[in-house]
Structure 1
Amino acid sequence: MKKKLILMGVAAALVTATLIGGSLAYFQATGQRVKQQINTKNLGIQFNEVGKDGLGKDIYTQIPNGTVYVKEILPGAEIQKEVCITNTQNTDLYTRITISKYWGSFKGSEFIKDGNKIAEKIKIPAVQDKDNSGDKARWILQKEDNEQMVLYYTKPLAPGENSKIFMDLIQISQDLQNDYADLGVELKMQADAVQILVGQDAIMSEWGVLATIDDQGYITKIEE
């Protein structure tokens, strides 16, 4: 009964937030615009590959459907790929991303997954934050297994703002056997988000984790 009352209280908080002109919503995206289920505003996240132009300035190129493909795989290969997300709409949000790793083969433009191959042989090293300015914006790796990793961005992402990169390298295991020959890799990235209004309750309700949020709105800890 106590648990039921707590959940009812969270639901009431979410409804109240929408009634006072806020708009608290949860959505999933794979690089496409997704309309809120609560009101007329839109939330949007776009996955971008980060590169440099001829003057050394960052340029951002959208990754279609939040999916990265690597077609030619060699044992021990290291593929440079810097990826961030961008808040493409008009509302501040908290976000998490889930990266799923697959082996498979290409049939024309179609990728055919091979569930018998070991996804652990595809590695995405944690990005080392070299920013010594005291900026608290970073990615928290909350969960990782052989096939999937889940990361939370600590900073409320403002409209039009780019996150820090969450991936800069794809590593292929050195000990690939012959049955991996001619296979490729798919990384499927999904973004989920809630608005920052009553953010702790929204995160608990939608993602089932307890977020510790400081007085500046930064997430400092994620606990299950």
Structure 2
Amino acid sequence: MSEVKSASPRTVRMMVLAAAVLLVVGIAGVVQSTQAQLVFMSENYVAEFAQTHIGVALTENDVVVEGDDALLADPEALLGGDAQMIPGKAYAERLSAVNTTDMGEYVRLTVRKYWADADGTKNPLLDPALIQLTYDSEDWVLNPEESTDERLVFYYRHLLDAHEAAVAPAVKTIAIDPSVSTATGDFSQCRVALSAQVDSVQINYADDAAKSAWGVDVDALGLEWDEVMAR
């Protein structure tokens, strides 16, 4: 019987910087009885990715995230021709997983969203809930017990077969809530930031492995992670 593997402590972290994505947002406010306008400028759209099990790889927009490739170096890749990111408009940002091993795996994907200052430091003054992600609920399960306004934790419903990609991405789009226009303060150097971590357990005793590695009851989540042979 194969030895049960849980998420490896080995972590590969990659920072992907994209150039010149502008978030220009007008706000209504009164400063000494005058209207003030707040400009959100994202000089870089940041996506930081890590994987804790070398058998699964994170993909962004159907491309495996590896090395130091600047996947968003072309703003059109995110903005689709827009000159700036328009609050309320959804932009394609597909986050998923692919199995790079010769055996089946059960997969978890953790996504974090936050605002960062120019130096990359997280800015807690802007609500991460203003960064909106749409996600797939047919092939992925969002665990509300682990999720917050900043963090979303997904479990892939199916066995991810050897050398196969998930049939659908967990995250599909990203948008900025229009209510960001009510924020007050100088956030001119703030930028949108995402991080994602994908890890997995092998099929043998998958329920127990998930409980041990992640502290979750997959049955309670409605997952049927049976001990089946990878196809």
| TM tier relative to shorter chain | 0.5 to 0.7
Q: Does the 8 A contact of 1:203 with 1:210 survive in 2? A: yes
Q: CA RMSD in A?
A: 3.2
Segments of structure 2 that go 5 or more residues without pairing to the other structure are: 13-48, 73-77
Q: Distance in 2 between matches of 1:168 and 1:200?
A: 27
> Where do 1:179-198 residues align within 5 Å?
179-198=186-205
Q: Do the aligned partners of 1:103 and 1:114 also contact (CA within 8 Å) in 2?
A: yes
Matches within 5 A, 1:39-58: 43-50=54-61
Distance 2:174 2:111 in 1: 12
Give 2:64's match in structure 1, choosing from 58, 62, 65.
Answer: 62
Structure showing the higher helix proportion among its residues: 1
**Could you list the runs of 5+ residues in structure 1 that have no partner in the other structure?**
1-19, 36-42, 51-59, 130-137, 219-224
Corresponding residue number in structure 2 for 1:119: 128
1:172 maps to which of 156, 173, 176: 176
Shift of 1:162: 0.3
Amino acid at match of 2:157: T
Separation in structure 2 between the aligned mates of residue 32 and residue 147 of structure 1, nearest angstrom: 17
> Could you say if the C-alpha distance between residues 68 and 181 of structure 1 is closer, same or farther in structure 2, counting changes exceeding 3 Å?
farther
| Aligned residues of 2:108 and 2:198 also touching (Cα < 8 A) | yes
Q: Contact 2:131 / 2:175 at 8 angstroms: preserved in 1?
A: yes
Structure 1 residues 131-186: Cα deviation after superposition (integer angstroms, max 9, x where no partner): xxxxxxx1001123211111100111111110121111101110223634442111
Q: State the SS of the aligned residue for 2:106.
A: strand
Report deviation, 1:191: 1.3
1:47/1:85 contact within 8 Å kept? yes
TM-score normalised by structure 2 residue count: 0.62
Question: What is the aligned residue count?
Answer: 171
Higher strand share: 1
1:95–1:192: 8 Å Cα contact kept in structure 2? yes
Q: Counterpart of 1:26?
A: 6
**Structure 1 match to 2:148:** 145
Identity %: 22
